Amino acid sequence: MPIKTVYSAKIEHLQLLDENGVLDERLAVVGGKPVLTDEEVVHLYEFMIQCRTLDETAFKLQRSGRMGTYPQNKGQEAAAIGSGFAAKKGQDFLVPCYRENAALFMHGLPMHYILLHWMGDERGNQIPEGVCMTPLSIPIGTQMLHATGIAWAFKIRKEPRVAITYFGDGATSEGDFHEAMNFAGTFQAPVVFFCQNNHWAISVPRETQTASETIAQKAIAYGMPTVQVDGNDLFAVVKATRDAIERARAGGGPSFIEAVTYRLADHTTADDARRYRESAELEMWVGRDPLIRLRKYLEKKDLWNEKLQAAAEEKARAMTAEVIKAAEGIEKPAVDDIFNYTFAQPLPAEIEKQRQTLRTSSLGQDPQQAGLQGEAQHA
């Protein structure tokens, strides 16, 4: 019998704005309308400056002992902002890991909540009512299952809503990733899997932790559309994400986006990337900085100049100061909060006893028991 091909596939790479700020006008139009208007680009660039300023200041807070370990978002702003802009605020659901601050801010998360989270204050994870997102996910890959479940609920309820979940290239080597992808593909859940391929799973390079030539091709096995985009190209990210979200909203099921980007800082402030990556590689990607690229584009169109840049940076510094003030000036939480926000009232009797005594053991709660009476008298 002759050998025949039963399946073949290709992965497309999408770039609209190159490193010199030159836009492919032909590809940057959808349905006769631009992917982004001039006003939108200016607005998003200013927002990008604000997010970068907050990010760099957060690094300084950690170094000065005012905050715990922090993972910088520097270099990945276009991926977060472009995808966040494509989703509908108050309708679509964002399910992040921990390097998508900009997208979360766009959808209503107060900026100081991120600082509270990394300061160890759980109130930073208390998502405000009406803000459609989950808290940051520190375990690698678990949030993709949550996003798939949320999307499945949207489908069951026949709600025109979509979940978009973020993760890094390293997370695609986790079992949770494959379970989420398989379920989403099989049941056509309206979810967008958005991989920020920044080339490093902490200190492990992409080519070491997976044999796939691209991350995008992993979606083929689960029967979903997939594309690789230049993750530092705001236009490409908006276009690809918008297409995927609208496809899901219309009943077309899940999609996968591999946004090729790079983290310009260490994995976290507890890391020293100089120990495992070459300085030449970092320098190459510094030249591909999404902020530099977008500024070049705006300047070519006479939409931006040094005066506007200085004003935007000053505004960003003032905003960042207010965010820090809000985070550091928050009233200290009460010890009772451990109990007050865990159970609905009334508390079970044994938990109420724990709240009164701040002890979990029966001996601690009742010092009159044998062996503790004397201790209680001398306390």
Question: How far is 36 from 51, CA to CA, in rounded Å?
Answer: 20
Q: Percentage of residues in the chain with pLDDT exceeding 90?
A: 86
Beta pairing, strands 191-197 & 29-30: unpaired
What does the pLDDT average to over 66-95? 97
- Residue 367: per-residue pLDDT: 62
Question: How far is 106 from 95, CA to CA, in rounded Å?
Answer: 14
- Residue 215: per-residue pLDDT: 98
Q: Percentage of residues in the chain with pLDDT exceeding 70?
A: 95
CATH 3.40.50.620 given to domain 13-328: no
- Active-site choice (13, 274, 276, 359): 276
Task: Enter the pTM of the model.
Answer: 0.91
Confidence of residue 96 (pLDDT cuts 50, 70, 90): very high
**Upstream peptide bond of 346 is cis (omega within 30 degrees of 0):** yes
- CB-based contact 162:190 (threshold 8 Å): yes
Confidence of residue 115 (pLDDT cuts 50, 70, 90): very high
Number of helices and strands in the chain (H, E): 15, 10
- Residue 352: per-residue pLDDT: 85
Confidence check: pLDDT of 371 > 70: no
Confidence of residue 143 (pLDDT cuts 50, 70, 90): very high
Question: How far is 119 from 11, CA to CA, in rounded Å?
Answer: 41
Edge-first strand listing for the sheet containing 13-14: 13-14, 226-230, 255-260, 191-197, 163-168, 93-95
CATH 3.40.50.970 domain position(s) in the chain? 13-328
- Residue 334: per-residue pLDDT: 87
- CB-based contact 73:337 (threshold 8 Å): no
- Residue 360: per-residue pLDDT: 72
Which whole-number Å values give the CA distances from 196 to 56, 66, 167, 229, 246, in the listed order? 20, 29, 6, 10, 20
What does the pLDDT average to over 186-197? 98
Residues with Cβ within 8 Å of residue 17, at least 6 apart in sequence:
23, 24, 28, 230, 233, 234, 235, 236, 293, 294, 297
Question: How far is 117 from 319, CA to CA, in rounded Å?
Answer: 19
Digit-coded pLDDT (tens) for 46-76: 999 999 999 999 999 999 999 999 999 999 9
267 in catalytic set:
yes
Digit-coded pLDDT (tens) for 203-259: 999 999 999 999 999 999 999 999 999 999 999 999 999 999 999 999 999 999 999
**Which is nearest to 341 in space by CA: 136, 133, 126?**
126
- DSSP-derived secondary structure letter, 120: T
Confidence of residue 274 (pLDDT cuts 50, 70, 90): very high
- Active-site choice (112, 161, 199, 263): 263
Q: Say which amino acid occupies 8.
A: S
**Which is nearest to 38 in space by CA: 23, 55, 52, 57?**
23
Question: How far is 106 from 82, CA to CA, in rounded Å?
Answer: 10
- Active-site choice (99, 117, 161, 267): 267
Question: How far is 266 from 340, CA to CA, in rounded Å?
Answer: 37
What does the pLDDT average to over 131-152? 97
276 in catalytic set:
yes
Question: How far is 135 from 312, CA to CA, in rounded Å?
Answer: 29
117 in catalytic set:
no
- Residue 293: per-residue pLDDT: 97
Beta pairing, strands 226-230 & 13-14: parallel
Residues with Cβ within 8 Å of residue 125, at least 6 apart in sequence:
113, 117, 135, 136
